[in-house]
A and B are shown apart, each in its own frame.
Chain A
Amino acid sequence: MAKKKKIQSYGIFALLVVLACVFIYPILLVIQNSFKGKLFISNTPFELPNKETFVGVQNYVEGFAKTNFHKSFGYSLFITIFSVLAIVLFTSMTAWYITRVKSKLTSTLYYIFLLSMVVPFQMVMYTMSKLANTIYLDNPVGIIVLYLGFGSGMAVFMFSGFIKGIPVELEEATLIDGCNPIKMFFKVILPVLKPILITVAILDAMWIWNDFLLPYLILGSNYRTIPVAIQYLKSGYGSIDYGQLMAMIVLSLIPIVAFYFACQKHIIEGIVAGAVKG
């Protein structure tokens, strides 16, 4: 019995190792091809770089220059950080207000916010991009307003669920001490919201960092975020240079992997919390 169990657990382990290799292989393949000349990629991707095909870091240098990758990285970072900050700050305040002030208006607002969670982006993308152009939101600062709008549904929903569980007495005591609600929110409520705040921030950061269609439509080629830059490399420069494409894909993966290893615990917990609430 014990022996059978041992064999079984080795079997499971072997299966998992094989699967893990399958999961990692596509990324290794991209890395391998990022060091090959562009003519040796699309037809023979599985061959390791050799004397004839190896080009060193040439793809990286040229791809970086062609896409202005540092600028794309800057735009992506700027938009992601400030959009996440805006979402977390403004929607937590909104969620607190519509949870605490019970009226027809606030309960209607709550359901109106939920609406954006079920309506697909294609429903609003055409009219939204026209509107954004008209009112000058088609720049890296303006797009933050749009991300706040699109992110508010899920964030209000998650914050409201959490705030319902916070006892009101805590707030009332502070108000009696002479605080106004704004001060009270930052001093008392915000610290209590920390776990859900991290969850919302991580889910939104992953979404905004990787988002393609919104920056593609709104910012276009004036301010390319990383996914837009990679798309341009594939379609916007005449003949495609697969070597540069592979190299820029590798560069785009580095910040994601770094972020993942730095906050793996929070990401995993955030996803579980987000899924249960959502």
Chain B
Amino acid sequence: MQKYYKKYFSIFVLPTLLAYLVAFIIPLVMGVYLSFCKFKTVSDAEFVGLSNYLFVFKDSQGFLHALWFTIKFAVVGILSTNLIAFALAVLLTKKVKGTNIFRTIFFMPNLIGGIVLGYIWQLLLNGILIKIVGADITFSATYGYWGLIILFNWQMIGYLMIIYIAGIQSIPADLFEAAQMDGANGRQRLFKITLPMVMTSITICTFLTLTNSFKMFDQNFALTAGAPAHKTSMLALDIYNTYYGRIGFAGIGQAKAVIFTIILIVFAVIQLRITRAKEVE
């Protein structure tokens, strides 16, 4: 049977594979190579060894600042979105009136694209800031930071909540009944049953928020565009600005992208190891 199938490779696999090569694999290989080159256009690339990489780590290049800003953002972003989403999921599985309507409302922001989200929150936050301190969000990196955190929460909470609700609903009801018979109170049930049983959901949600916060571009681009003075540029925006900001800097941008990729993979692997270890079968 397998031999018979084999001659259909070109019909079943080739279209996808060609598109994948063009969109991803060839650019990836070229990108890694060009990170070791100096070039203005792709055709005049000249091999320069590690010098792009060394250049990236000079403070003036903004990469270290963007990395630190992204890490600070990711830590607070992951914790706040997951805690709030989990709390909402617990409340919404308690058979409160109107559960479906609440779920619908909380999820809706997730369907809105990053650019539009950025401008919606720019309007709201600038309105508040101008009223209170008389300056807009581009005035201080602190405003930008918290603006991004609020935006990220508004966008992600509904999505995570859906996953947590599914996790909580899949816990067998007799577990809770047995615990109640044994006299366990609400808090004990939460920490001894609900939390360990939704560990799989926690793994998924922390993974999603970790990768989303590291890869965040559109929201950053629209809300602050890095203002003031690139202080609120996250990694993706910093790399984008390096590619397109100055002619001849694309090699540096490419080196930054390689480092970014490695950092993201390392963080994701560490996170999966930690949360997977806590899952119960």
9 A-B contacts (beta carbon < 8 Å): A15-B91, A97-B13, A137-B22, A146-B22, A148-B16, A150-B24, A213-B217, A275-B166, A276-B166
* A109 CB–B CB distance under 8 Å: yes
Q: Are B42 and A116 in contact (CB under 8 A)?
A: no
**Cβ < 8 Å to A, chain B residues 121-137:** 121, 123-124, 126-127, 130-131, 136
8 Å CB contacts to B: which residues of A95-141? Answer: 96-98, 100-103, 109, 112-113, 115-116, 118-128, 130-132, 135, 137
- Smallest beta-carbon distance B43→chain A, Å: 9
Report the separation of the CA atoms of residues A185 and B116 in the bound assembly, to the nearest whole angstrom.
40
Flag if B119 contacts A182 (CB, 8 Å).
no
- Cβ A227 vs Cβ B214 within 8 A: no
- What is the bound-complex CA distance between A184 and B69, given in angstroms? 53
Interface size class of A (residues with CB under 8 A): 35 or more
Please name all residues of chain A whose beta carbon is closer than 8 Å to the beta carbon of B1 when the two chains form the complex.
172, 175
Say how far A177's CB is from chain B's closest CB, in angstroms.
14
CB within 8 Å of A: which B118-170 residues: 119-121, 123-124, 126-127, 130-131, 136, 154, 158-159, 162-163, 166
> Interface with B: A66-74, A193-201, A246-254, which one?
A246-254
Asked whether B119 lies within 8 Å of A234 as measured between CB atoms, the reply is yes
Given A101-B6, A120-B214, A145-B22: A276 and B204 interface contact (C-beta under 8 Å): yes
Cβ of B116 and Cβ of A16 under 8 Å apart? Answer: no
A97 touches B91 (CB 8 A): no
8 Å CB contact of A150 from B2, B12, B23, B115: B23
* CB nearest neighbor in A for B25: A112
Contact B163 A272 (CB under 8 A): yes
A124 touches B105 (CB 8 A): no
Query: B residues within 8 Å of A by Cβ?
Result: 1-2, 4-6, 8-9, 11-13, 15-17, 19-28, 30-31, 34, 42, 88, 91-92, 94, 96-98, 101-109, 111-116, 119-121, 123-124, 126-127, 130-131, 136, 154, 158-159, 162-163, 166, 200-201, 204-205, 208, 214-215, 217-218, 221-222, 235-236, 239-240, 243, 250, 253-254, 257-258, 260-261, 264-265, 268
Chain A interface (Cβ < 8 Å from any Cβ of B): 9, 12-13, 15-16, 19-20, 23-27, 29-30, 33, 41-46, 90-91, 93-94, 96-98, 100-103, 109, 112-113, 115-116, 118-128, 130-132, 135, 137, 145-150, 152-153, 156, 172, 175, 181-182, 185, 206, 209-213, 226-227, 230-231, 234, 242, 245-246, 249, 252-253, 256-257, 259-260, 264, 267-268, 271-272, 275-276, 278
Contact B106 A210 (CB under 8 A): no
Q: Do B116 and A227 have beta carbons less than 8 Å apart? A: yes
Q: Which residues of the partner chain A approach B235 to less than 8 Å between Cβ atoms?
A: 122
Report which residue of A90, A112, A153 has the largest number of chain B beta carbons within 10 angstroms of its beta carbon: A90
Taking a contact as CB atoms under 8 Å apart, the answer to whether A100 and B5 are in contact is yes
Task: Give the CA-CA distance A66 to B228 in the complex, in Å.
Answer: 30
With A210-B113, A212-B221, A268-B107 already in contact, 15 other A-B pairs whose C-beta atoms are closer than 8 Å: A26-B121, A29-B127, A45-B123, A93-B11, A97-B12, A101-B5, A109-B13, A115-B28, A120-B215, A128-B24, A145-B19, A181-B5, A212-B218, A268-B162, A272-B166
